[in-house]
Amino acid sequence: MLFILLPALIIFSVALFIDAAATGLRLLNTGVSLTHSYNISRDISYGGESWQKLDIYRARDADENTPVIVFFFGGGWSWGDKAYFEFIADSFVRKGYTVAIPNYVLYPQGKFPQFVEDGAKAIVWIKNNISEYQGSAEKIFLVGHSAGAYIAAMAATDTQYLQKAGESKSFIKGVAGVAGPYNFTPKAQEYINIFGKENFDSMKIAQYVTGNEAPMILLHGGGDKTVGVFNQEIMAEALKKENVRHQSIVYSSNITHIKILLKLHPWFADSVNVAEDIDRFFKSL
């Protein structure tokens, strides 16, 4: 009986955790939307698949010269939705950006490299259409957290993805990766399934750095037990070797994988202000 009940309890516990995370993010976003005013265009299609949609947030007084952030959310490539991350858009709209948040295919519906292909397709769509939403196609920056940081960094380094979507990577002005698993080898069965053993070499991003990449800022929490900081260290070393302008920040040991995400919003920022560090880097370019 124990062998029957234990898997059921594990599944139930995971379901509760996922539901609690979604509920918490919805409550946070409700609070954000009640305290800050901006224009939102929801569920814009960037492709033909049902999940290929994005939301665009912009200040009410934004103009066509407003810099653009494309934010890719995390969730282990198997969880998440653009609607959960309005608080990220709010944070960067406050700093003068127009923000686009795309959905992308999630496991088990899709596997590597489909979510990177979706990311590249969304980026190119935004470049070609963002002027209609008070954004500058000449000032496009990528930001991602966790799995989303992987998507942003891969799209900005391995040229095949943007080329397949009809562009080169030269138009990207800057990239910010927050707690990104850029160079890991899957150990858990779910991630083995997501990436496939045959892709364990080609999935690592640092190898694609050639020196032609956009400037990058990499940020990680010293207390992150979900994604090892070695991912950032390997990535930073590759950027340094190829003379790519970059900055690598590792915050203190009390900054976890989730805390670093929350500290992208001013409500949770204190001496650690992740959005401020990203904005400062982008504005220096």
- Per-residue pLDDT tens digits for 97-108: 999 999 999 999
- Per-residue pLDDT tens digits for 250-263: 999 999 999 999 99
Domain boundaries, the chain: 1-35, 38-283
pLDDT over 90 for what percent of the chain? 86
Length of the chain: 285
Coil vs helix vs strand at 71: strand
Question: Residue 103, class by beta-carbon neighbours within 10 Å (0-12 exposed, 13-18 middle, 19+ buried)?
Answer: buried
Supply the CATH classification number for the domain 38-283: 3.40.50.1820
Question: Residue 159, class by beta-carbon neighbours within 10 Å (0-12 exposed, 13-18 middle, 19+ buried)?
Answer: middle
- Per-residue pLDDT tens digits for 37-88: 899 999 999 999 999 999 999 999 998 899 999 999 999 999 999 999 999 9
If we measure between CA atoms, which residue out of 260, 108, 274 comes closest to residue 194? 108
With cut-offs at 50, 70 and 90, classify the pLDDT of residue 2.
very low
- In angstroms, the Cα distances linking 127 to 206, 214, 227 are 25, 15, 30
pTM confidence score: 0.92
